Structures are given as structure tokens and as C-alpha cells.
Chains A and B, each alone.
Chain A
């Protein structure tokens, strides 16, 4: 029992773990996109750039201010989320009365600006961000050795996803949020400050992207293109899952990560495109997405 279909087990488990890691980032990023989309009705194209900013700000905190990984997990989402608040206040809030496509175009332009600025100052070669000592090393799981940091990323991502889900589905704040998604005008009539809620929601979604960036920093090299490579796949994930439900985007994110990992084992040539092929099939069978409402 050392192999399945001729594939050695360690290889299979290794790729499954890699798939779970990618899935963790798909889930975190599509979750942020879904939160933003729910209330603002825009697709945040800047999401990839904000993910990249998260990784860079963590790097800057470490190298310029000596602030380590665990503090960065808390500080970076706040800092980057704050830039999101500013962007929403200054620009995005002007577009709510227009076609939603303008929101997409604006955030695409912002993504170009942010990525260009980082490329100017840091080059495109990538910077190293070490794994924090507390999470280095590996654990013997009996059937494979798992690098501790990778296990941590999966666990942290699951916890953050569940926490977000709980906040939105089970708290009073979440109830306001869901109500405003349905009928913003009525919620406003009940005395809730909806514009402020929208601003903070955008900031929170951006914060989630930045948090994903900090988690990603020790795994991928910190470089200005890391976000745009990810975000297009995440868009496909979002189309597959449908934006209707928060839980749906979490499940789809992890699931597709695993599928991608398995493809890398059994048919490596297709690993880059498998998610897009799945997207095409889902569009044929369920155009609204697996968890979406038509």
C-alpha cells in the first residue's frame, strides 16, 4: 500500500497538502471578494494588489521596524484595511449610482497603480520572508512529514473563514450587513448609518486580503506580481461557487485547491487550467454557480 494508481503515497499527500494551501488562499480571497460584493455590488479587482500589499507591509514591518510575524498578522490587516477605507471614501463611493462595471474598471486601474508603484521600488525579483521560528520545522504525521508552517496556514485560514462566517451569520452586526445587502434603503430608514457600514465592510474585505498576504509571505516569495497571478484564478473560483453565500465560497475555495493538487499528481499538464475548465463545466450545468442564487 505504497501507491495509488501507480502514484507513490508521499507524492500524493504532498500535492494534496499543497492543494490545501492554495485552497486556503482561494478561500480567504474569494471570501473577501464575496463580502465586498454582497454590500457594494462591485468586484474588487484591487483584491490581488491588496493581497500583495499585505505581504509587502509584513516584510517592511520586519525589515524596517523589527516587528515580527505574529504582530504583523494583527497590524497588517489594519493598516492595509485603512488604505481600503480611504480608497472607498475617496473614489469607490462616487460610483454607486453608476453601472457596476465602472467599479470593476476603477479597481482595475487602482491595481495597476499599486502594482506599478511596488515594482518601481522593489523590482520584480521578489524578497525573502523567513518562516517565524515558532512555526519552523516539520511534524511526522505517520504517513508524511508536514512542514509546520503549512499546517498553520491551513488551520489559520479555516479559523479566519469560520470566524468571518460566524460574524456575518450569527451576530447583530452581521444581521445588519445581510439586511443592507437585501435592502440598503430600508436599513438606512431604521437608523443604521449605511454609508459608514459600506466603508467599513470594504475595509474589512481588504483586511482579509492583506491577512492572506501575510500568511502567504513565508510560502511564496514576496513580489509585486504575486497578487495578479492569484486573483484571476480566484475570479474563476468565485464564478464556480457563486457569490450568493459566504459558506459556499469557503467550501469552493478549499475544494478547488485540492482538485488542483490532485490534477498536479495525475495530469500535471492540466494543473494550470483545470479550474478554468471546471468553471466552463459549471457554467454549462449551473450558470448561477454551485452555491449561487440565479
Chain B
């Protein structure tokens, strides 16, 4: 598969030795920087904020798997993120599961939700796909608003962080931070691995030329459905992790505006790039943190970023950076 990867690199970068996981050299450097930043950051920055960034970065990576590599714009990913959060919170608080099991449960249920929704949505392409996923997610929102276990307007509150593997208490922020960092990095590497596997090559073929992929004998709907389900599962993991960190799961996370936010993070960071969603999540969450006192201005600025990205900045931050440095990030 290394050969196919080299072809995708810009001319002039020469032969690229692949390292662990199939990273190119530039990607390996960027990954080391990312890991180092995660290790050092809590000494300087508020861990809760960093954990929030990582949860959303994982969410955006999961979303990017679909938008960036299959070319499917889902406008309803809040359903999987939010439902993952509810399930994680419910499992940890009511069922008393340990946090790692609660997070896994969130991922499994989100996958169980994503599979039938994806199966319905991939019957149409393009804007119809976006509208269908949005409508299905709105159904989940109404369900979450009415179902008894989600707590309606109150959400599920005071979710205990619990003990990892039943032994290590996650109440200290740094212990929780280590777990979130591990979940994020595992999810990130998983997405990377999926994208650069033979399966991922077919996904990109579907994105670039679907009729040709069909004519080559690929059952594209199977590939789309599996990608959709994987993306939903990882979104659920991200949502459940966030619920455990903050001890709360609410309607905010299933609302359509959350679906819009993850689109924005991916678009701003650079869709179809490995590190773009992480950069996008970092920028958007940081902005929300600093602008929180200004209320509705956050929405307005997000709208402006959307418009600016679409009109003038379609490669996104990491995409532009990669173009300047002539590497694929």
C-alpha cells in the first residue's frame, strides 16, 4: 500500500520512507509534536479545557473519516455524539459500570444507531444525504427530549468519573486527563489506520469517482455503510468520554447545532487531512472558551468562519500548511 500512498504526495517530495502505522515522515514528525504537546500541555493549561479539546478532536476525526475520505457530508453527527454521551453517563451513573466500560458502551450504542441510519441515508447522495442525516438526527433529539432515561431538559447530571478498571480513581483531573489522552490517541491512530488501509483506499476511490469504483466491482454501499458505522461509533466514544469528564450529558450534544459545529471544525482544520480536525477542534473550542461571555456573538463568529472557509479557505488550516510545506499532513 506504500506505493499508492506515495502517488498521492505532491511532486518533488521524493521517495517517502514509511514509518510506524504508515506515517509519512512529515506526518510522523507532526504526530510526535502532537503527543509531546499533549504530554506537556497540562503543566501550562487548564486540564479540563484540554480534555474538552481532545474529546471534540476525536469527534471531528471520526466525522472527517466520512466527509474527508468518503466525501459524504453528514449533517446529523450530533445524534451519535450525544447518544454516546447519554449512554456513557447512564452506564456510569445508573448501571455503575467503570468508566472504560461506559465509554465502550457509548461507542457500541452509537454504532448500533449509526448502522440503520447510515443504511437509510446512503440510499441518496450529496445534499439529500445531508438532509436525511439531519432529519434522522432531529428524530434522535426529540427522542432524547422525551425518553425517561435521558432526563429531558435536565440531562443526566452528577455522573461519577468512577475508577478505571475498578481500581484507579479518575477524580483527580490529571488521572482523567491521561485516560482522555489515551482514548483520543487510540481513536486518532485508528482513523489513520482505517484511512491508509486497503479499505481506506477504496473509500477514497469512491470519493473521487464513484461510478468507476462500482465498475471495478466494489460494492460501494457496503464500504459507505461500514465507514458510516465506524464514524458513528467513534463519535459515540468521543461523546461518552466527554460525558464522563464533565459528569453531565445534556440535550446540547444532540442538538443540530452540534452537528454544525463538527462540520465547522473539520472544514476549518482541513477536510481530508489527518491532522486538520484536531487543529479545527482546538481553534473552535478555544474560541468558544474566550468568547463565552459574549453570548450570541459566538454563533455569529462561527457563521463568519463558515462563510470565510467556504469562499476563500477551502483547504483549511492544515491543508494550507501542507501546501506551503509541500507535504501531506
**In the complex the two chains form, is A112's CB within 8 Å of B300's CB?**
yes
**Quick one: which of A94, A117, A283 contacts B123, CB cutoff 8 A?**
A283
- In the assembled complex, which residues on chain B have CB atoms less than 8 Å from the CB atom of A111? 303
A269 CB-CB contact with B under 8 Å: yes
Spot the interface stretch: B45-53, B91-99, B307-315: B307-315
Q: Which residues of A contact B143 (CB under 8 A)?
A: 273
With A105-B267, A232-B256, A276-B138 known as contacts, the answer to whether A42 contacts B127 (CB < 8 A) is: yes
Asked if A100 contacts B126 (CB within 8 A), the reply is yes
**Which B residues lie within 8 Å of A239 (CB)?**
124, 128, 131-132, 135
Interface flags for A18-52 (1: CB within 8 Å of B; 0: not) read 00000000000000000000000011000000000
* A156 interface residue per 8 A CB criterion: no
A100: chain B residues within 8 A (beta carbon): 126-127
User: Would you call B132 and A283 a contact (CB within 8 A)?
Assistant: yes
Interface flag for B120 (CB, 8 Å): yes
Please state if B296 and A120 are interface contacts (CB–CB under 8 Å): yes
Contact A113 B295 (CB under 8 A): no
Contact of A283 among B73, B124, B134 (CB under 8 A): B124
Which residues in B have their C-beta under 8 angstroms from that of A117? 296, 300
B136 & A104 in contact (Cβ 8 Å cutoff): no
A272 near B142 (CB under 8 angstroms)?
yes
Does A287 lie at the interface of the complex (its beta carbon under 8 Å from any beta carbon of B)? yes
CA distance A232 to B126 in the complex (A): 17
Contacts of B260 in A (CB 8 A): 108, 112
- Which residues of chain A from 70 to 122 have a CB within 8 Å of any chain B CB? 91, 94-95, 98, 100-102, 104-106, 108-117, 119-120
8 A Cβ contacts from A211-241 to B? 228, 232-233, 235-236, 238-239
Closest A residue by C-beta to B126: A100
Kindly list chain B residues whose C-beta atoms are within 8 Å of the C-beta of A102: 310, 314
Provide the bound-state CA to CA distance between A75 and B120, in Å: 42
Considering only CB atoms, which chain B residue lies closest to A286 in the complex? Answer: B123
CB distance from B14 to the nearest CB of A (A): 32
Whether A110 and B135, one on each chain, are in contact in the complex, defined by CB atoms closer than 8 angstroms, is no
- Cα–Cα, bound, A65→B73 (Å): 44
Whose C-beta in chain B lies nearest to the C-beta of A288? B124
Do residues B299 and A276 form an inter-chain contact, with CB atoms below 8 A? no
User: How many Å from the CB of B179 to the closest CB on chain A?
Assistant: 33
Residue A284 at the chain B interface, CB threshold 8 Å: yes
Whether, in the assembled complex, B139 has its beta carbon less than 8 Å from a beta carbon of chain A, the answer is yes
Chain B positions within 8 Å of A280 at CB level:
120, 136
Q: Which of B120, B304, B307 contacts A284 (CB 8 A)?
A: B120
- Compute how far the CA of A51 lies from the CA of B120 in the bound complex, rounded to whole angstroms: 29
CA of A106 to CA of B123, assembled, Å: 24
What is the number of contacts between chain A and chain B, taking CB atoms within 8 Å?
A: 119
Q: A101-B126, A287-B124 are in contact. Are A109 and B139 (CB under 8 A)?
A: no
Residues of A within 8 A of B73 (CB): 101, 104-105
A279 at the interface (CB under 8 A from B): yes
* A277 touches B (CB below 8 Å): yes
Count class of interface residues, chain B: 35 or more
**Which of chain A's residues has its CB closest to B263's CB?**
A105
Q: Which of B263-309 contact A (CB under 8 A)?
A: 263, 267, 295-300, 302-307, 309
Out of B132, B138, B145, B300, name the residue touching A120 (CB < 8 Å): B300
Q: When the two chains form their complex, are residues B131 and A235 in contact, meaning their CB atoms are under 8 A apart?
A: yes
Q: Is the CB of A106 within 8 A of B136?
A: no
> Is B327's CB within 8 Å of the partner chain A?
no
A239–B125 CA distance with the chains assembled, in angstroms = 12
Task: Decide yes or no: A109 and B131 within 8 Å by CB, A101-B73, A232-B256 being known contacts.
Answer: no
A-chain residues with CB within 8 Å of residue B298 when the two chains form the complex: 116
Interface residue B158 (Cβ < 8 Å from any Cβ of A): no
- Give the residue name and chain of the A residue nearest to B306 (CB): A109
A178 CB → nearest B CB, Å? 20
What residues on A are CB-neighbors of B310 within 8 Å?
95, 102, 105-106, 109
Say whether B146 faces chain A, with CB atoms less than 8 Å apart.
yes
Residue of A nearest to B261 (CB): A112
Contacts A239-B135, A279-B135; is A116 near B307 (CB within 8 Å)? no
Q: Does B130 contact A (CB under 8 A)?
A: yes
CB distance from B5 to the nearest CB of A (A): 24
A168 to B300 Cα, complex, angstroms: 36
Contact B126 A115 (CB under 8 A): no
CB pair B136–A109 under 8 Å, yes or no, is: no
Set of chain B residues within 8 Å of A284, measured between Cβ atoms: 120
Instruction: Name A42's closest neighbour in chain B (CB-CB).
Output: B127
Q: Are A43 and B130 neighbours in the complex by a CB distance under 8 Å?
A: yes
A114 to B304, CA, bound (A): 10
| Closest B residue by C-beta to A242 | B128
A94 to B146 CA separation, bound complex (whole angstroms): 43
Residues of B within 8 A of A238 (CB): 131
In angstroms, Cα B239 to Cα A153, docked, is 43
Question: Given contacts A42-B127, A287-B124, could you give 15 more A-B pairs where the C-beta distance is less than 8 Å?
Answer: A91-B307, A101-B126, A101-B130, A105-B310, A109-B303, A112-B306, A120-B295, A232-B134, A233-B135, A233-B138, A235-B131, A238-B131, A275-B135, A277-B139, A283-B123
A-B contact pairs, 14 of them (CB 8 A): A43-B131, A104-B73, A105-B309, A106-B306, A111-B303, A112-B299, A115-B299, A116-B303, A120-B297, A228-B256, A236-B131, A239-B132, A273-B143, A280-B136
Closest CB pairs A-B (n = 5): A109-B306, A112-B303, A113-B303, A116-B300, A116-B299
